[in-house]
């Protein structure tokens, strides 16, 4: 396949996929919301869960973005070093965003900083935002596409703790962010926590944590235990859907971590709203693709 | 039975409402968020829509243009109301708006404004933007289009728009403040328990 044809094919696939994820929640999130709805005993919270379910049905039926805030588009790319169209990806993803903005349609959410002008295209300086990881020897590419609205972006926070504060300090930080600022971010939330060295390494990991499925576990036993403790603990607080109180607060807590400097513990929290619109797609070297996040999805 | 508020809303329609009550709206709901508030309060510009007795919606929708003067509401859900806290008390006073619809709580200034001028703040479930759009019968006007799609004042004629959960009533009650007290009362013991289990640095 020549590079021009490949660019067009990549653009076409990713434009359709980007539009798709704005209208349909991933399977793990839908299942979790159904589970929380079934277990809810608070009347007001149950009514809110019903509105949420009705909304997703309508979005599907009317083919519209389920939430009006379709975010600044982010692509987390895990690229095989042997993927033949690595050089075409960036431009294709930019074009995919342009196309999806018109076809979906997406809300115009790219404001050039300092000029304070909305570009009207969802593209701008370094937007859509790309995050890259390279996998040696693989000839395909996996792309996590994410649209986070302003509401669930606002609580995001990062801090560097002294080692004396330990994981106890991490616990305090997570609870502070979620119980003070998470309430307005459309709970039940998926909570992403990064534990690392510095603000930016922890912050990136906290966002990567949101790409992991609801219910998945950190491979380290202690980290996995902490995920469960935080999830159960936050649920005990009973924030409920939209912060109106209820049986649960979160869909889950996902921790991602790296080795750290002995003198610091970088911690960050990112939140995904209940309408956690992300999708994972795997594109092969011949540009055939498989959607991994949404069961039975057709583009 | 559904409790429906119809614009123009009068003081007496609101006096019996309590935080946590669920109501629906029929009539006019005008989108009004950050810049529209700033223009009225800080820049002293006159709003192009008379909001007396009407409802505003803290929202930036997705709208499709049908022709030069007609628009279709595609997707419209609430945005974080707290961003308007700085302006809302004065906004209520100057406009005579009766119902403020948004997401999440608002602060003490808005509570004061609601009490003094008999207005309420209500939450429409965030993220339920298609459900909301289907309750918009027509976009009758679009003002201050220079602000771009999210910030334009979209004048929507709505029917049975809701559920709207009253979060600030006319009596000085604030549902989110009450909830925060509940959350804070529970969280201390939970945190202490977790901390004992995460002493990984030994």
Model ipTM value:
0.93
The verdict on residue B31 lying in a domain is: yes
A19, A132: one domain: yes
Neighbouring CB atoms inside 10 A of B188's CB total 10
d(CA A210, CA A292): 15
CB-nearest partner of B74 from A64, A151, A230: A64
At B70-91, the pLDDT tens digits run 999 999 999 999 999 999 999 9
Pairing of strands A289-291, A277-283: antiparallel
pLDDT at B1: 78
Per-residue model confidence as pLDDT tens for chain A (299 residues): 899 999 999 999 999 999 999 999 999 999 999 999 999 999 999 999 999 999 999 999 999 999 999 999 999 999 999 999 999 999 999 999 999 999 999 999 999 999 988 899 999 999 999 999 999 999 999 999 999 999 999 999 999 999 999 999 999 999 999 999 999 999 999 999 999 999 999 999 999 999 999 999 999 999 999 999 999 999 999 999 999 999 999 999 999 999 999 999 999 999 999 999 999 999 999 999 999 999 999 99
The first and second tokens of residue B127, run together, are 């993220």
Q: Specify whether A186 is located in the same domain as A268.
A: yes
> What are the phi and psi torsion angles at A2 (to 5°)?
-80, 165
In a domain, A57, yes or no: no
Q: State residue A13's pLDDT score.
A: 98
Mean pLDDT, rounded, for B138-161: 94
Examine residue B68 and state whether it is found in any structural domain, yes or no: yes
In a domain, B77, yes or no: yes
In a domain, B117, yes or no: yes
Report how many domains make up chain A: 2
Our CA-based measurement puts residue B90 at a distance from the nearest CA of chain A, in whole angstroms, of: 23
Beta carbons of A47 and B54 less than 8 angstroms apart:
no
Task: Answer yes or no: do A124 and A219 share one domain.
Answer: no
| Chain A residues within an 8 Å CB radius of B164 | none
Residue A42 Cα distances to A31, B166, B175, angstroms: 20, 16, 15
Q: Please tell me the distance from the alpha carbon of residue A224 to that of residue A166, in angstroms, as a whole number.
A: 17
For tokens 């029929």, the residue is B26
Residue A296 Cα to chain centre, angstroms: 20
Same domain, A257 and A127: no
Nearest CA in chain A to B74: A64
- Structure tokens, A256: 């991602």
With a CB cutoff of 8 Å and minimum separation 6, the contacts of B74 are A64, A65, A68, A105, B61, B62, B63, B64, B133
Angstrom distance (rounded) from CA B73 to CA B156: 9
Asked whether the beta carbons of residue A184 and residue B61 sit closer than 8 angstroms, the reply is no
Residue B189 included in any domain: no
Contact pairs from chain A to chain B, CB under 8 Å? 176
CATH, residue A159? 3.30.1330
Length, in residues, of chain B: 202
> What's the alpha-carbon Rg for chain A, to the nearest Å?
19
What's the confidence (pLDDT) of residue A160? Answer: 98
Cβ contact, residue pair B165, A244, below 8 Å = yes
Query: Is residue B192 included in any domain, yes or no?
Result: no
**Co-location of A144 and A155 in the same domain:** no
DSSP-derived letter for residue A274 is S
* Mean pLDDT, chain B, integer: 96
Q: Which of B127, B180, B193 sits opposite A66 (nearest CB)?
A: B127
Q: Which residues, at least 6 apart from B99, have a Cβ–Cβ distance to it below 8 Å?
A: B5, B9, B14, B25, B54, B55, B56, B119, B120, B122, B164
| A221 and A197 together in one domain | yes
Same domain for A157 and A144? no
Helix (H) or strand (E) holding B26: strand B22-31
Instruction: Please indicate whether, in this complex, the C-beta atoms of B123 and A244 are within 8 angstroms of each other.
Output: yes
Assess whether A194 and A259 both reside in one domain. Answer: yes
Shortest Cα distance, chain A CAs vs residue B147, angstroms:
9
Q: Given this model, what pLDDT does residue A90 score? A: 98
What is the per-residue pLDDT for B68? 86
The question of whether B37 is a catalytic residue gets the answer: yes
- Residue B69 pLDDT more than 90? no
> In the structure, what pLDDT confidence band is assigned to residue B129 with cuts at 50, 70 and 90?
very high
- Which structure tokens are listed for B148? 């771009």
CATH number of the domain within which B42 lies: 3.20.130.10
B60–A166: do the CB atoms touch at under 8 Å?
Answer: no
pTM of this prediction exceeds 0.90: yes
A214 domain-assigned = yes
**Rounded to the nearest 10 degrees, how much is the dihedral formed by the CA atoms of A254, A258, A262, A267?**
-40
Mutating which of B80, B125, B181 best tests the A interface, going by the most A Cβ atoms within 10 A? B125
A185 and A116 inside one domain: no
Going by C-alpha positions, the residue among A49, A45, A35 that lies closest to residue A215 is A35
Pick from A55, A65, A239: CB nearest B62? A65
Query: Is A236 within the bounds of a domain?
Result: yes
Q: Indicate whether B131 belongs to any domain.
A: yes
**What stretch of H or E contains A43?**
helix A43-62
Residue A232 domain boundaries: 151-272
Residue A32 and residue A37: Cα distance in Å, rounded? 9
Contact A225, B197 (CB under 8 A): yes
Number of domains in chain B: 1
Q: pLDDT value at position B171? A: 98
Residue A11 shares a structural domain with residue A110: yes
Of A171, A222, A273, the CB nearest to B191: A171
Among candidate residues B37, B36, B168, the one with its CA nearest the CA of residue B114: B168
Find the domain containing B65 and state its range.
4-175
Q: For chain A, give me the number of helices (H) and strands (E)?
A: 8, 11
Q: How far apart are CA B107 and CA A25, in angstroms?
A: 32
Residue A21 to residue A16: CA distance in whole angstroms: 9
For B127, the closest chain A residue by CA position comes to A67
**How far is residue A160's CA from residue A106's CA, in Å, rounded to a whole number?**
36
Over residues B158-177, mean pLDDT: 97
Three-state secondary-structure class, residue A142: strand
DSSP-derived 3-state class of residue A136? coil
For residues A130 and A162, state if they share a domain.
Answer: no
């Amino acid at each position: 396949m020549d590079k021009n044809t490949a660019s067009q094919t990549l653009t076409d696939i990713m434009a359709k996929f980007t539009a798709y994820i704005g209208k349909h929640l991933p399977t793990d999130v839908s299942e979790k919301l159904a589970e929380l709805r079934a277990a809810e005993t608070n009347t007001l919270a149950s009514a809110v869960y019903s509105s949420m379910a009705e909304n997703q049905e309508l979005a599907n039926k009317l083919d519209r973005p389920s939430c009006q805030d379709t975010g600044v588009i982010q692509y987390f790319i895990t690229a095989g070093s042997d993927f033949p169209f690595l050089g075409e990806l960036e431009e294709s993803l930019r074009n995919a965003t342009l196309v999806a903005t018109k076809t979906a349609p997406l809300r115009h959410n790219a404001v050039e900083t300092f000029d304070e002008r909305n570009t009207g295209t969802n593209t701008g300086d370094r937007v859509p935002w790309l995050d890259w990881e390279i996998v040696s020897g693989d000839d395909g590419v996996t792309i996590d596409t994410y649209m986070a609205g302003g509401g669930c972006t606002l609580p995001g926070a990062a801090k560097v703790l002294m080692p004396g504060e330990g994981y106890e300090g991490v616990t305090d930080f997570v609870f502070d962010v979620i119980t003070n600022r998470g309430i307005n971010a459309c709970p039940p939330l998926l909570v992403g926590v990064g534990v690392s060295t510095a603000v930016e390494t922890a912050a990136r990991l906290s966002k990567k944590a949101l790409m992991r499925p609801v219910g998945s576990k950190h491979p380290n036993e202690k980290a996995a235990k902490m995920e469960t403790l935080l999830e159960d603990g936050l649920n005990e607080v009973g924030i409920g859907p939209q912060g109106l109180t209820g049986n649960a607060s979160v869909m889950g807590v996902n921790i991602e971590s790296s080795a750290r400097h002995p003198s610091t513990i970088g911690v960050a929290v990112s939140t995904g709203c209940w309408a956690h619109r992300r999708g994972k797609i795997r594109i092969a070297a011949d540009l055939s693709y498989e959607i991994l996040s949404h069961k039975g999805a057709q583009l | 039975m559904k409790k429906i508020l119809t614009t123009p809303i009068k003081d007496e329609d609101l006096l019996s409402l309590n935080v946590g009550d669920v109501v629906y709206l029929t009539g006019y709901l005008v989108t009004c968020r950050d810049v529209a508030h700033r223009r009225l309060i800080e820049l002293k510009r006159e709003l192009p829509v008379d909001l007396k007795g009407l409802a505003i919606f803290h929202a930036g929708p997705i709208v499709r243009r049908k022709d030069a003067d007609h628009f279709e509401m595609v997707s419209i859900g609430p945005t974080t109301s707290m961003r308007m806290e700085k302006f809302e008390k004065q906004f209520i006073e100057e406009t005579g708006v009766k119902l403020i619809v948004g997401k999440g709580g608002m602060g003490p200034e808005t509570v004061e404004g609601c009490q003094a001028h008999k207005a309420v703040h209500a939450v429409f479930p965030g993220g339920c933007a298609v459900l909301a759009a289907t309750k918009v019968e027509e976009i009758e006007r679009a003002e201050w289009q220079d602000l771009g799609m999210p910030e334009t004042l979209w004048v929507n004629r709505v029917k049975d728009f809701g559920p709207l959960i009253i979060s600030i009533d006319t009596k000085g009650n604030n549902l989110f403040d009450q909830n925060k007290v509940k959350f804070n009362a529970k969280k201390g013991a939970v945190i202490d328990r977790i901390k004992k289990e995460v002493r990984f640095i030994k």
